């Protein structure tokens, strides 16, 4: 459930509001919206920490991350621990993308639809504005 406003999230992960907006612009994160305000979930924060690690520690550019996500699953890019992979339905059943495996889970638990998911968007192409 998205609870955290952009300013709090920026402070939690050690970045700025503008950086979070940049990640959103590039399709790497899709925060929930209430009116015009952005709100982030715990999962969003975990993904943002992974992004920050890839950018600052592994020195991968935003465009590089987008390309990597096209060709490799996230657990290979982020060196996901075995325990975490064991709970990931996209890792367990590699024959289908996560939005097919988790459609019902995502809809009932987060209130989000697959078409708003950053993974779904990156695989299907960004929507025209």
Q: What is the tens place of the pLDDT at every residue in 74-116?
A: 666 666 678 777 766 566 666 655 545 444 444 434 444 555 5
Domain 4-124: give its CATH code.
Answer: 1.10.1660.10
Q: What is the pLDDT of residue 112?
A: 47
Gap between the Cα atoms of 83 and 88, Å rounded: 9
pTM: 0.61
Where do the DSSP E strands lie in the chain? 4-5, 32-34, 37-40
Q: What is the tens place of the pLDDT at every residue in 58-67?
A: 899 999 888 8
Q: Which residue has the tokens 């992004």?
A: 51
Gap between the Cα atoms of 10 and 127, Å rounded: 26
Helix H or strand E encompassing 28: none
Every domain of the chain and the residues it spans:
4-124
């Amino acid at each position: 459930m998205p609870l955290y406003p952009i300013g709090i999230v920026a402070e939690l992960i050690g970045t700025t509001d503008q950086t979070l907006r940049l990640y959103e612009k590039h399709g790497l994160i899709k925060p929930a919206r209430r009116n015009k305000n952005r709100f982030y979930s715990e999962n969003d924060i975990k993904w943002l920490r992974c992004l920050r690690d890839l950018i600052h520690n592994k020195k991968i550019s935003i465009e590089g991350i987008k390309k990597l996500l096209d060709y490799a699953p996230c657990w290979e890019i982020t060196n996901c621990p075995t325990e975490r992979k064991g709970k990931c339905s996209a890792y367990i059943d590699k024959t289908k993308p996560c939005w097919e495996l988790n459609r019902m889970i995502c809809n009932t638990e987060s209130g989000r639809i697959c078409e708003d998911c950053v993974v779904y968007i990156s695989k299907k192409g960004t929507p025209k504005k």
